[in-house]
Amino acid sequence: MATNTLTDLQSKQPDTALDQIIKIAIMAVGGQGGGVLTNWVEDCAHRNGYVVQATSVAGVAQRTGATIYYMEMAPAQDRNPVFSLMPAAGDVDILVAAEMMEAGRAIMRGFVTPDRTTLIASSHRALAVSEKMVPGDGIADSEEVIAAAEIAAQRFIAFDMEKMAVDAGSMISASLFGALAGSGALPFERESFEAAIKASGRGVDASLRAFADGYEGAARGWVERPHSGAKTATTANTPAGPKHLVDQWHNLEARAAALPASVRDMAQTGLRAVVDFQDLDYGAEYLDRLDKVLAHDHPAKDHELSLEAAKYIAKAMAYDDVFRVADLKTRGSRFARVRNEISPAQGTQMKLTEFMHPRAEEVVGMMPSRLGRRLAASEKTMRLIDKLVNKGRRLRTDRLLPFAQLYILGGLRKYRRGTLRHAIEKDHLDTWLEQAMVYRKVDYALAVETLRNRRLVKGYSDTHARGLSKFDRVMDGVALLAGRDDAAHWCKLLREAALADEKGIQLEGALKTVQSFTGQDATAPQN
């Protein structure tokens, strides 16, 4: 019986038909038009006498990645080629990614190789669920993906195709299609691509505009890098209103402008935030607190303590409560932002639904302080209130009555200072700030890190409760560390551990480490 030897296999001629097959993978999440883009490419190939096979494998949003649309095409011949149903590592000619991290996923899966792959990616970011879940800054670094792509791909094209599409009034699929055409990776003329868009019959003019922009960008071979760390200049609104109030605002601005240069910008930003949150008198309280910190700061340290105080005192004073949430949801700027983001067609009525889910704590927190404390002290009463109010509510703020309900609720902020929630937040702020100033007497760096711990407390309802719990745990750990030379370093590590995951698993591990070398329990009272 004859057998194939290595020499026999090497002597066989390669199948030239395989070299004619073009393999394209498109990675896109829901709403980015991956299916439309696939149909356009398929139509374009048919117009040029190619046979095409297209398949797709759905991802789960960005939890497990984008949907992968895969196509293989080849010139029509007497005998139809046999196409594969899925992309294989090292065997993709063109990879189109509708978002930068999807390009990174493609590289990790081996779909992008330096011997053959043209990688076309939009440089914008659509945050993955894993990035959003991190309590701190969980955004992955696009620069690392770009650096990897420049090594992994034979040719790399990247720029913000999402912005191009939005500016043109279209979807990113159109600008991606233009970039694919402009790259020259497919052997088809521009007119064939445009004909595919025209044949679709929907949003043709806008799609052609986005296509043209993408085509020109790819033809120039752009690799647009993210502007990390770049500061966008902001212009403060010019105050308007009764003269005595405008004069009072200018006086507060003058106080902030007189602060040391290293603190001034942050203080002015914080002042605007707290005045917007409450009123001008509240802004004066903010500057009074900041002045007390500044009086005990060191110019030799470039007023680092005061800089952090300017930032985090403002955050602590402008907390999120029911009044604040209702106020923000009924502002004209919010409706304008939503309209800008969704870009409804001319003459289309925009419907906006807000979801409200208050707990008993939020309802009692709006009550006068004395009454609220009495109700909060009764578990039975709190359970009853929670049973009545703890229900998800959807309010159509494009309708008069739901809008009026939220608008009136937001207007009640003038009573905020007398509420239980405000009393609790004020006590918490004063205790935290006082503790930082105590640490300042013996360890300046620890005082700075203690102020930074305030970033753990943010959000509304359950989010606020989780953040506050982590803050308390970190501060318990800091109490164990006070007096050590490395206290500031460990305080920072505890805070970073608290920000690393939602459940606080890493924080508990870090606290156990602190307890192991201090010989104390973070839950035990400290002398």
- The residue among 175, 158, 47, 167 whose CA lies nearest residue 104 is 158
pLDDT number for residue 56: 87
Strands of 209-270, DSSP E: none
* Domain boundary assignment for the chain: 20-219, 422-527
Q: Roughly how many angstroms between the first and final C-alpha of the chain, as a whole number?
A: 90
Rounded Cα distance between 471 and 473, Å, is 5
Helix, strand, coil percent content, the chain, rounded in steps of 5: 60, 10, 35
Output the six-digit token pair for 426.
């004020």
Beta-carbon count within 10 A of 96 CB = 31
Phi/psi region, residue 129 (left: phi>0; alpha: psi -120 to 50; beta: rest), is alpha
Strands of 204-294, DSSP E: none
Work out whether strand 67-75 and strand 155-159 pair parallel, antiparallel, or are unpaired.
unpaired
| Residue range 20-219, CATH number | 3.40.920.10
Q: What is the pTM of this model?
A: 0.69
Q: What is the pLDDT along the chain (527 residues), one digit of tens a residue?
A: 444 444 454 444 444 445 689 999 999 877 778 889 999 999 999 999 999 999 988 765 444 457 899 999 999 888 888 898 899 999 999 999 988 888 888 999 999 999 999 999 998 877 665 566 566 666 667 788 888 889 999 999 999 999 899 888 888 999 999 999 999 999 999 999 999 999 988 789 999 999 999 999 998 876 766 554 444 444 456 777 888 899 999 999 999 999 999 999 999 999 999 999 999 999 999 999 999 999 999 888 889 999 999 999 999 999 999 999 999 999 888 888 887 767 676 677 888 888 888 889 999 999 999 999 999 999 999 999 989 888 878 889 889 998 999 999 999 999 999 999 999 999 999 999 999 999 999 999 999 999 999 999 988 788 888 899 999 999 999 999 988 999 999 999 999 999 888 888 999 999 999 998 887 766 554 44
Rounded Cα distance between 161 and 167, Å, is 10
Residue entry with tokens 């912005």: 163
Rounded Cα distance between 211 and 198, Å, is 11
Helix (H, G, I), strand (E, B) or coil at 103: helix
Residues 214, 178: contact at Cβ < 8 Å?
yes
Output the six-digit token pair for 165.
């599409």
Residue entry with tokens 């076309």: 120
Q: Give alpha helix (H) positions in 51-189.
A: 100-108, 129-133, 142-152, 161-168, 172-183
Q: Rounded to the nearest 5 degrees, what angle is found at the Cα of 338, between the Cα atoms of 335 and 341?
A: 150
The full 3-state SS of 359-400, as one line of letters, equals: CHHHHHHCCEHHHHHHHHCCHHHHHHHHHHHCCCEEEECCCH
**155: which strand partners?**
118
Residues 27, 145: contact at Cβ < 8 Å?
no
Residues 79, 90: contact at Cβ < 8 Å?
no
Residues 194, 158: contact at Cβ < 8 Å?
no
Rounded Cα distance between 453 and 458, Å, is 11
Residues 21, 74: contact at Cβ < 8 Å?
yes
